[in-house]
Amino acid sequence: MSFLQVNGISHVYLTKTKAKEAIADLSFSIEEGEFVSLLGPSGCGKSTLLSIISGLLQPTEGNVIIQGKTKHKPGESMGYMLQQDYLFPWKTIEDNCLIGLKLTNRLTKESIDGTLNLLDQMGLYDVRHAYPDQLSGGMRQRVALVRTLATGPDLLLLDEPFSALDYQTKLKLENLVSATLKTHNKSALLVTHDIGEAIAMSDRVILLSPRPGKIARTFQMPSHLRELIPFDARNDPEFAEHFQVIWKELDSLEQSPT
């Protein structure tokens, strides 16, 4: 049994003017410890799909099974990282990181120490009493990562978490996230429109076609590329080959009138 199974998900958005199908009959699965990317042009319902998997949104059709359970509440076994850090500016770094534990009534001496330890690993221990606006963009997104990891999720949902960062910071954070997930053997689902990022970080890349979103193709990354850290993967000759293939596929998807 897979860690996460997405079965025949369809979602329709209703507005006053029309009913718009965002996702149509989408199915895939993620194994434990696997890193999967959803790649696609805008309008393919990537973020909608993440909201459905996280339990924030009820799909019109289909279901999501996580570790054998169909019914799941947000926050139980999943961590969600957004496009920007969305740290609460009125809370200190430490309090921002502890919010998940607080909301799930799991604030104990051990869990607080665990979170402080995570902050330390990310080189943020010294700024734990600072407020978010005193930190740089990269530091803030690292805090957001600690906040997401603090509740000990088994699956990480990453909604373009690096898109708002400058290139250098982005490369560093890719390495950091990749290494952190590998050490803790966590599964992850990354939504992105950055082909390079998808190839460098993932075990598998799922290409979505737009309006309504459905799976166009799945690319399995070769094992030696998967073992490299994202930065080295980007410099591998095979990276360029995969980039070309996915680029062409994505290009044809965007041009084909659907």
| CA–CA–CA angle 257, 29, 255 (5° rounding) | 15
Q: Among 219, 210, 257, which Cα is nearest to 48's?
A: 210
82 binds other proteins (CB under 8 A): yes
54 in contact with other proteins (CB under 8 A): yes
Q: Which is nearer to other proteins, 86 or 247 (CB)?
A: 86
Site stretch for other proteins (CB under 8 A), options 99-107, 110-118, 208-216, 241-249? 99-107
13 binds other proteins (CB under 8 A): no
Residue 110 is a binding residue for other proteins (CB under 8 A)? no
d(CA 103, CA 41): 35
Q: Which of 12, 99, 112, 215 binds other proteins (CB under 8 A)?
A: 99
Q: Does 152 bind other proteins (CB under 8 A)?
A: no
Q: Which two tokens stand for residue 210?
A: 């737009």
Give the span between the Cα atoms of 89 and 251, in whole angstroms: 40
Tokens of 110: 């051990």
**103 near other proteins, judged by CB under 8 A:** yes
- Kindly tell me which of 6 and 50 has the beta carbon lying closer to other proteins: 50
Nearest to 67 by CA among 128, 2, 20, 122: 2
Residue 97 is a binding residue for other proteins (CB under 8 A): no
Considering beta carbons, is residue 1 or 133 the nearer one to other proteins? 133
Selected binder of other proteins within 90, 109, 223, 257 (CB under 8 A)? 90
Strands 35-39 and 204-209: parallel
| Shortest Å, Cβ 166 to other proteins | 21
User: Taking the CB of residue 44, how many other CB atoms lie within 10 A of it?
Assistant: 28
- Written as six digits, the tokens of 83 are 């496009």
* 67 is a contact residue toward other proteins (CB under 8 A): no
Quick one: 103 or 240, whose CB is closer to other proteins? Answer: 103
Q: Which stretch binds other proteins (CB under 8 A): 69-77, 175-183, 193-201, 211-219?
A: 69-77
Residue 174 CA to residue 200 CA, distance in Å, equals 9
Strand order in the sheet with 19-30: 19-30, 4-14, 61-66
With tokens 């009138």, the residue in question is 257
Residues in contact with other proteins by CB under 8 A are 54, 56, 73-76, 78-80, 82, 84, 86, 88-91, 99-100, 103-104, 131-133, 151
